[in-house]
Amino acid sequence: MNTLLLVTLLLPLVGAAGVAVLPDHRQLLAKQLTLGISLVVLVMTLWMAVGFDTGGERFQFNSSYTWIADFGVRFSLGVDGIAVVLIALIGVLVPVVVAASWNDEPTGERSMKAFFAWLLVLETMMIGVFAATDVFLFYVFFEVMLIPMYFLIGSFGGPRRQYAAVKFFLYSLLGGLIMLASVIGLFVVSNNQLGEGTFAFDALRQLEITPGTQKLLFLGFFIAFAIKAPLVPFHTWLPDAGAEAPIGGAVLLVGVLDKVGTFGFLRYCLPLFPDASRFYAPLVLVMSVVGIFYGALLAMGQSDMKRLVAYTSIAHFGFIGLGIFAFTSQAGTGAVLYMVNHGISTGALFLIVGILINRGGSRMIGAYGGLARIAPLLGGAFLIVGLSSLALPGTNSFVSEFLVLVGSFTTQPAFSIIAAVGIILAALYILLMYQRTMHGPENPRLRGVRDLDKRELATLGPLIALIIVLGVYPKPVLDIITPAVDATMVDLGTNDPAPTVAEEGNR
Amino acid sequence: MDETIEYAAATGALSSIWLLVALPLLSAAVLLLGGRRLDKTAPVLGTGVVAVDFVLAVYYVVTLADQSNRAVSLQVFSFIPVNGLQVDAGLLLDPLSAVFILLITGVGGLIHLYSVGYMHDDPGRRRFFGYLNLFVAAMLLLVLGNSFVVLYVGWEGVGLASYLLIAFWYTRPAAATAAKKAFIMNRVGDVGLLIAIFVMFATLGSTQFSDVLGGAAALTGGTATALALLLLLGACGKSGQFPLQAWLPDAMEGPTPVSALIHAATMVTAGVYLIARASPIYNLTQDGRTVVAIVGAVTLLIGCVAGCAKDDIKRVLAWSTVSQIGYMFLAVGLGPAGYAVGILHLLTHGFFKAGLFLGAGSVMHGMNDEVDMRKYGALATRMKITFATFTLGYLALIGFPFLSGYYSKDLIIEAAFDKGGTSGWLLGGAALLGAGLTAFYMTRLMLMTFFGEARWDEGAHPHESPTVMTAPMIVLAFGSVFAGFVLVHVFSLESWLEPVFGAPPEADHVIEPIVVTLLVLVLVAVGIAAAWLFVGRRQVARTAPVSVSAVVSAARANLYGDALNESVLMRPGQWLTRALVFVDNKGVDGAVNGVAALIGGSSARLGRAQNGFVRTYALGMLGGSILVVAALLAVRFG
Tens-digit pLDDT profile for residues A378-387: 999 999 999 9
pTM to 2 decimal places:
0.92
Beta strands, E only, B83-131: 85-93
Distance from CA of B372 to the nearest CA of A (A): 23
Confidence grade of residue B607 (pLDDT, cut at 50, 70, 90)? very low
HSE, side-chain direction, 13 A CA sphere, residue B503:
3
Task: Compute and round to an integer the Cα radius of gyration of chain B.
Answer: 28
Q: Does B83 touch chain A (CB under 8 A)?
A: yes
Q: Is B592 in Cβ contact with A176 (below 8 Å)?
A: no
Residues 6+ apart with CB under 8 A from A226: A175, A234, A261, A287
Q: Which of B80, B176, B636 sits opposite A474 (nearest CB)?
A: B80
Of B483, B437, B179, residue with least CA distance to B320: B437
Chain A interface, best mutation among B4, B21, B77, B80, by max A CB count within 10 A:
B80
Distance from CA of B284 to the nearest CA of A (A): 15
Is residue B446 within 8 A of residue B376, CB to CB? The reply is: no
Query: How far is residue A24's CA from residue A26's CA, in Å, rounded to a whole number?
Result: 5
Is residue B21 within 8 A of residue B139, CB to CB? The reply is: no
Of A121, A142, A120, A119, residue with least CA distance to A130: A142
Q: φ, ψ for residue B72 (rounded to 5)?
A: -120, 140
Q: Is B197 in Cβ contact with A440 (below 8 Å)?
A: no
Report the pLDDT averaged over residues A100-115.
Answer: 85
A 10 A CB-CB count for B111 gives: 30
Distance from CA of B176 to the nearest CA of A (A): 6
Confidence grade of residue B547 (pLDDT, cut at 50, 70, 90)? confident
Confidence grade of residue B354 (pLDDT, cut at 50, 70, 90)? very high
Distance from CA of A456 to the nearest CA of B (A): 16
Work out whether strand B8-9 and strand A73-79 pair parallel, antiparallel, or are unpaired: unpaired
Q: Does B2 touch chain A (CB under 8 A)?
A: no
Q: Is A413 in Cβ contact with B202 (below 8 Å)?
A: yes
Report the pLDDT averaged over residues B623-635.
Answer: 59
Distance of CA B195 to the CA centre of its chain: 19
Higher pLDDT, B136 or B545: B136
Q: What is the pLDDT of residue B457?
A: 84
Instruction: Please report, to the nearest 10 degrees, the dihedral formed by the alpha carbons of residues A312, A314, A315, A316 taken in order.
Output: 90
Q: Is B160 in Cβ contact with A174 (below 8 Å)?
A: no
Q: What is the pLDDT of residue B613?
A: 52
Q: φ, ψ for residue B99 (rounded to 5)?
A: -60, -45
Is residue A410 within 8 A of residue B205, CB to CB? The reply is: no
**Boundaries of every domain in chain B:** 290-556, 564-637
Query: How far is residue A427's CA from residue A435's CA, in Å, rounded to a whole number?
Result: 12
| Host H or E run for residue A78 | strand A73-79
Share of chain B above pLDDT 70, in %: 91
Report the pLDDT averaged over residues B555-577.
Answer: 79
Instruction: Using the predicted structure, report yes or no on whether residue B436 has a pLDDT greater than 70.
Output: yes
Omega before residue A230 within 30° of 0, cis = yes
SS3 B24: helix
Q: What is the pLDDT of residue B632?
A: 55
Is residue A39 within 8 A of residue A53, CB to CB? The reply is: no
Q: What is the mean pLDDT of chain B?
A: 87
Q: What is the mean pLDDT of chain A?
A: 91
Distance from CA of A128 to the nearest CA of B (A): 19
Residue type, A208: E
Instruction: Tell me the per-residue pLDDT of A175-189, one tens digit each, with 9 for 90 and over.
Output: 888 999 999 999 999
Give the CA distances from residue B96 to residues B108, B387, B498, B503, B610, in Å, rounded to whole numbers and listed in that order: 18, 34, 9, 14, 70
Q: What is the pLDDT of residue B486?
A: 92
**Boundaries of every domain in chain A:** 276-497
Tell me the chain A residues in contact with residue B79 when contact means C-beta distances shorter than 8 Å.
473-475
Q: Is A170 in Cβ contact with B616 (below 8 Å)?
A: yes
Share of chain A above pLDDT 70, in %: 99
Nearest residue in chain A measured CA to CA from B81: A475
Cα angle for residues B621, B624, B630 (degrees, 5° grid): 140
Q: Does B11 touch chain A (CB under 8 A)?
A: no
Query: How far is residue B276's CA from residue B274's CA, in Å, rounded to a whole number?
Result: 5
Given phi > 0 = left and psi -120 to 50 = alpha, else beta, which region is A52?
A: beta
Q: Is A427 in Cβ contact with B171 (below 8 Å)?
A: no
Of B433, B395, B393, residue with least CA distance to B413: B433
Higher pLDDT, B586 or B337: B337
Instruction: Using the predicted structure, report yes or no on whether residue B567 has a pLDDT greater than 80.
Output: no
Q: Does B145 touch chain A (CB under 8 A)?
A: no
Of A101, A86, A91, residue with least CA distance to A38: A91
Report the pLDDT averaged over residues B160-171.
Answer: 93
Q: What is the pLDDT of residue B4?
A: 57
Q: How many CB pairs under 8 A join A and B?
A: 217
Is residue A135 within 8 A of residue A72, CB to CB? The reply is: no
Q: Which of A152-166, A483-497, B572-586 has the lowest mean pLDDT?
A: B572-586
Nearest residue in chain A measured CA to CA from B3: A507
Is residue B252 within 8 A of residue B259, CB to CB? The reply is: yes
Q: What is the pLDDT of residue A505?
A: 45
Tell me the chain B residues in contact with residue A473 when contact means C-beta distances shorter than 8 Å.
77, 79
Instruction: Tell me the per-residue pLDDT of A269-326, one tens digit each, with 9 for 90 and over.
Output: 999 999 999 999 999 999 999 999 999 999 988 889 999 999 999 999 999 999 999 9
Q: What is the pLDDT of residue A344?
A: 96
Query: How far is residue B199's CA from residue A77's CA, in Å, rounded to a whole number?
Result: 41
Of B118, B101, B140, B123, residue with least CA distance to B472: B118
Q: What is the pLDDT of residue B361?
A: 92
DSSP of B568-614: IIIHHHHHHHHHHHHIIIIIIHHHHHHHHHHHHS-HHHHHTTHHHHH
Task: Give the burial class of B7: count Cβ atoms within 10 A of its Cβ; 0-12 exposed, 13-18 middle, 19 or more buried.
Answer: buried
Give the CA distances from residue B355 to residues B112, B239, B472, in Å, rounded to whole numbers and listed in that order: 13, 19, 8
Report the pLDDT averaged over residues A331-346.
Answer: 96
Residue type, B491: F
Tell me the chain B residues in contact with residue A424 when contact means C-beta distances shorter than 8 Å.
184, 187-188, 191
Instruction: Using the predicted structure, report yes or no on whether residue B162 has a pLDDT greater than 60.
Output: yes
Q: Write down the ipTM of this complex.
A: 0.94
Tell me the chain B residues in contact with residue A338 when contact means C-beta distances shorter than 8 Å.
none
Distance from CA of B51 to the nearest CA of A (A): 25
Query: How far is residue B58's CA from residue A28's CA, in Å, rounded to a whole number?
Result: 61
Work out whether strand A73-79 and strand A60-68 pair parallel, antiparallel, or are unpaired: antiparallel
Is residue B230 within 8 A of residue B198, CB to CB? The reply is: no
Instruction: Tell me the per-residue pLDDT of B226-270, one tens digit each, with 9 for 90 and over.
Output: 999 999 999 999 999 988 888 898 899 999 999 989 888 899 999
Distance from CA of B587 to the nearest CA of A (A): 10
Q: φ, ψ for residue A375 (rounded to 5)?
A: -130, 80
Nearest residue in chain B measured CA to CA from A332: B82
Is residue B275 within 8 A of residue B196, CB to CB? The reply is: no
Q: Is A399 in Cβ contact with B80 (below 8 Å)?
A: yes
Work out whether strand B72-82 and strand B8-9 pair parallel, antiparallel, or are unpaired: parallel
Query: How far is residue A234's CA from residue B360's CA, in Å, rounded to a whole number?
Result: 57
Report the pLDDT averaged over residues B549-568.
Answer: 79
Q: Which of B201, B599, B632 sits opposite A406 (nearest CB)?
A: B201
Q: What is the pLDDT of residue A161?
A: 87
Query: How far is residue A489's CA from residue A407's CA, in Å, rounded to a whole number?
Result: 13
Q: Is A421 in Cβ contact with B191 (below 8 Å)?
A: yes
Q: Which of A147-151, A277-281, B156-160, B547-551 has the lowest mean pLDDT?
A: B547-551
Tell me the chain B residues in contact with residue A392 when contact means C-beta distances shorter than 8 Å.
156, 160
Q: Which residues pair with B86 in a beta bridge?
A: B81
Q: What is the pLDDT of residue B2?
A: 41
Instruction: Using the predicted structure, report yes or no on whether residue B446 has a pLDDT greater than 50.
Output: yes
Residues 559-598 of B with CB under 8 A from A: 573, 576-578, 580-581, 584, 588-589, 592-593, 596
Q: Which of A71, A407, A409 sits opposite B632 (nearest CB)?
A: A71
Instruction: Tell me the per-residue pLDDT of A399-439, one tens digit each, with 9 for 90 and over.
Output: 999 999 999 999 999 999 999 999 999 999 999 999 999 99
Nearest residue in chain B measured CA to CA from A472: B79
Instruction: Using the predicted structure, report yes or no on whether residue A127 has a pLDDT greater than 90.
Output: yes
| Host H or E run for residue A68 | strand A60-68
Query: How far is residue A465's CA from residue B312's CA, in Å, rounded to a whole number?
Result: 43
Q: Which of A100-109, A442-451, B16-25, B599-608 has the lowest mean pLDDT?
A: B599-608
Give the CA distances from residue A399 to residues A394, A396, A405, B149, in Å, rounded to whole numbers and listed in that order: 8, 6, 10, 10
Signed CA dihedral, B489, B493, B496, B498: sign only: negative
Q: What is the pLDDT of residue B539?
A: 79
